[in-house]
Amino acid sequence: MGASELAPSAKPVLLLDVMDTIVYDPFFQDMPVHFGMSFKELLAQKHPSAWLEFECGDIDEDQLFAKFFADGRRVDGGALKDMLVSKYRWLPGMEPLLARLVAAGYRLHACSNYPTWYRLIEAKLAPSRYLSWTFVSCEGAMKGHRKPAREAYEACIEELQLQPADLIFVDDRKVNVEGARAAGMHGILFEGADALEQELLRKGLSF
């Protein structure tokens, strides 16, 4: 059986990245504007590890705000969170696609590098109507592990008690898809809802 094929009798489980796969990610465009700088300037001035530590659950949001910038300037955390919430939105076509997959009996799980602010996304958009927030880098089985580290994918496999070949992983970043494939999963690079639907149909899903 080829790497792109699923067992005929299998009903695969889908692992879905969230930011810029299901939900628009404000980090690249809106966050720099919020701080009055370009994205390049934001990358140069932010603390080199604070956001990653926050994503891994190693620091809380107050600690993030205190060290967000390398020079120690304090961040207005409430204003930052309000901005993020105002920008979170479904990517075109993704909500109806997820709804159709769930209606057809497929199990969907988030597999996301994101901090506890995933709850802000849940409060606004309620993706849990379609998927479980099972794998987030800040807590639970995947805590402390970020894609594309092999440990992140292994945590998913172990928690779900499935064979890697029974899992379809979807992400907008090629390096993360390659990491999933290296762990034995089926990997799909997200390039829009229509393209994802066609790729799932090619893999034999019916919805």
Domain definitions of the chain by residue range: 13-24+88-202, 30-87
Owner of token pair 């639907």: 197
pLDDT tens-digit series, residues 106-116 = 999 999 999 99
Residue 24 clears pLDDT 70, i.e. is over it: yes
Distance between CA atoms of residues 108 and 12, nearest Å: 9
Among residues 109, 108, 120, 207, the alpha carbon closest in space to that of 152 is found at: 109
At 9 the pLDDT is 52
Distance between CA atoms of residues 21 and 118, nearest Å: 14
At 190 the pLDDT is 98
At 2 the pLDDT is 40
pLDDT tens-digit series, residues 69-125 = 999 999 999 999 999 999 999 999 999 999 999 999 999 999 999 999 999 999 999
Assign a CATH topology to domain 13-24+88-202.
Answer: Rossmann fold (3.40.50)
Query: pTM for the complete prediction?
Result: 0.94
At 7 the pLDDT is 53
